[in-house]
Amino acid sequence: MKAMLLAAGRGERLRPLTENLPKPMVEAGGRPLIFWQLERLAAAGFREVVINVSHLAERVIDQVGNGVRFGLRIEYSREAAPLETAGGIAWARDLLGDAPFVLANADVYCEFDFGRLRGIALGPQLVHLVLVPNPVHHPQGDFTFEAGRIGNGAAPRYTYAGIGVVSPALVAQVARGEKAPLAPLLRAAAERGLAGGELYDGLWTDAGTAERLAALDARLKQRDAARD
């Protein structure tokens, strides 16, 4: 099973930091966020990873490289301008192939075991999403979850962690080069009963603002200091 890391965004909420630094290269706990994800993918047995890049793409490519340092083989999907999530997946279709793949945001810190996703058989489903309890900054959540099924009901709701298993069929109607978000496609799949998932209650942070990034960095450094 291949994996795709989404690393093409501009990180507008982290400006001015991201004016000269790609958001996935922002550091927490002494290393770039994307390094944490790559290390966990390798530890879980993944060997092939596709990374989409756009904003300051060469900075990502130069620092991540071909993946050898992580025990991975990395290919890059270059976007002249960010195509959003679904558009990025569609643009990378030739690199990803026809089989379901693991999708993860490169700018999220999460200690989820990616190995749990290697045995997921989607069957007729289009996606298997990892959900987390709603953080303070996103109290309304994204989806309901009951008996392994993702839904669009009222409550209780959980937040999409930016991690999951995706069938290429999910973006089959997105033209290559089209700018398209993923959220509407996920909601449509849930509405049709074609979305499954699981809950994760471990450490997860969307480091999308300077405040959340600083809090994550402090937490990781404090933990490392305690281990020493």
Closest of 79, 21, 38 to residue 210, by C-alpha: 21
Compute CA distances 152 → 12, 13, 69, 199, whole Å: 28, 27, 41, 16
Q: Could you tell me the pLDDT band of residue 224, with boundaries at 50, 70 and 90?
A: confident
Q: How confident is the model at residue 22 (pLDDT cuts 50, 70, 90)?
A: confident
Token pair, residue 138, equals 């996103």
CATH no., domain 3-227:
3.90.550.10
pTM of the model: 0.94
Q: Is the CB of residue 25 less than 8 Å from the CB of residue 32? A: yes
Residue 213, pLDDT > 80, answer yes
Query: How does residue 226 score in pLDDT terms, banded at 50, 70 and 90?
Result: confident
Say how many Å lie between the first and final Cα of the chain, rounded: 36
**High-pLDDT (> 90) share of the chain, %:** 78
Q: How far apart are CA 47 and CA 45, in angstroms?
A: 6
Q: How large a percentage of the chain has pLDDT more than 70?
A: 96
Bridge partner list, 52 = 6, 77
Query: For residue range 65-114, what is the model confidence (pLDDT) as tens digits?
Result: 999 999 999 999 999 999 999 999 999 999 999 999 999 999 899 999 99
Residue 49 contacts residue 2 (beta carbons within 8 Å): yes
